[in-house]
């Protein structure tokens, strides 16, 4: 029996396949999680750009006309639908603008709430 190769038993083969499946499943889950995270970050970047656009439009308005920016509506960017709600709070010497941007079609997206102040 010297010099003869030893074959794998059925048990050794099954254990090897099981180890391979565990490693392959973990790699796939890591890939899927990474892909989801990348998509979520892209949605956040688009939402932040929308907020920046809204704030820049408000900065270009006269102080007395800021209340006209209040309201809500749907905005579509890159084929994705976002909901934007703008609220303006009037104080004695300033106005506070709050902007909330949500994405109902984006999985795991937490709406962004941003605020800025305007002074006379």
| Predicted pLDDT at 74 | 94
At residue 5, does pLDDT exceed 80? no
- Pinpoint the alpha helices (H) of 1-120: 10-59
Q: What is the pLDDT of residues 26-85, one digit of tens each?
A: 999 999 999 989 989 999 999 999 999 999 999 999 988 988 889 999 999 989 999 999
This prediction's pTM: 0.74
Cα 63 from Cα 114, distance rounded (Å): 19
Cα 47 from Cα 78, distance rounded (Å): 11
pLDDT band per the 50, 70, 90 thresholds, residue 120 = confident
| Predicted pLDDT at 2 | 53
pLDDT band per the 50, 70, 90 thresholds, residue 4 = low
Q: What is the pLDDT of residues 90-105, one digit of tens each?
A: 988 899 999 999 999 8
At residue 1, does pLDDT exceed 90? no
């Amino acid at each position: 029996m010297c010099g003869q190769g030893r074959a794998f038993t059925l048990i050794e083969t099954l254990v090897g396949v099981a180890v391979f499946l565990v490693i392959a499943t973990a790699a796939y889950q890591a890939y899927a999680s990474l892909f989801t995270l990348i998509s979520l970050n892209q949605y956040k970047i688009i939402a932040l750009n929308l907020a920046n656009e809204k704030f820049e439009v408000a900065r270009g308005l006269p102080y007395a006309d800021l209340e006209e920016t209040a309201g809500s509506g749907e905005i579509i960017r890159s084929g994705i639908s976002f909901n934007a709600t703008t609220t303006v709070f009037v104080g004695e010497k300033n106005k506070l603008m709050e902007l909330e941007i949500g994405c109902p079609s984006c999985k795991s997206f937490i709406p962004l709430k941003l605020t800025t102040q305007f002074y006379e």
